[in-house]
Amino acid sequence: MRSLGLRGAAVAILILVVSLVRGWPRLLPVSLCVLGAIYATHLRVDHVTLDLRAPAFAAGLFVTAELGYWSIEEREHFQGEPGDGLRHLAVVALLAAAGLLAGAAVLALADVASARGVALDVVGAAAAAAALLTVALVGRR
């Protein structure tokens, strides 16, 4: 599993590097998907009960994505104002922290829900579907 993870990570990094060097933003999520797939495989194969590091891993993925998109945007060479970069870095850090907290809350809810039986499983699935729908609707705007 370890060697598989390393190979997958190498592929993800390669995709990320190609995306950054060529300036292709559409390729960037692919590298994150590969990393997510490695993580999912790890959860499935190693039979982890409930991985408490998931919110941190999610925040790390988010920061990677933000920095990647930022890097691609900066290829256009606009002369920015002093403090511009630091301000955006602060926004990214805040979002990552918020994502970490929200992820921890979701994980705690999932832990409670799995202890209460099938009915709450169905509610969780419905909530996930609703979230998916919301994202789709918001994305269409």
User: Which chain residues interact with another protein by CB under 8 A?
Assistant: 25-26, 28-29, 32-33, 36, 39-40, 43-44, 48, 50-51, 54-55, 57-59, 61-62, 65, 69-70, 72-73, 76-81, 84, 87-88, 91, 95-96, 98-100, 102-103, 106-107, 110-111, 113-114, 124-125, 128-129, 131-132, 134-136, 138-139, 141
Q: Closest separation between CB of residue 78 and another protein, Å?
A: 4
- Residue 100's nearest CA partner among 48, 63, 138, 71 is 63
Q: Closest separation between CB of residue 140 and another protein, Å?
A: 9
DSSP 49: S
Contact assessment for residue 5 and residue 38, using Cβ atoms and an 8 Å cutoff: yes
DSSP string, 104-136: HHHHHHHHHHHHT-HHHHHHHHHHHHHHHHHHH
- Residue 65's nearest CA partner among 103, 32, 27 is 32
- Residue 57's nearest CA partner among 28, 84, 37, 77 is 37
Q: Closest separation between CB of residue 67 and another protein, Å?
A: 12
Residue with smaller CB distance to another protein, 12 or 62: 62
Residue with smaller CB distance to another protein, 7 or 53: 53
Residue with smaller CB distance to another protein, 10 or 70: 70
Q: Closest separation between CB of residue 22 and another protein, Å?
A: 13
CB hemisphere CA count around 73 (13 angstroms): 10
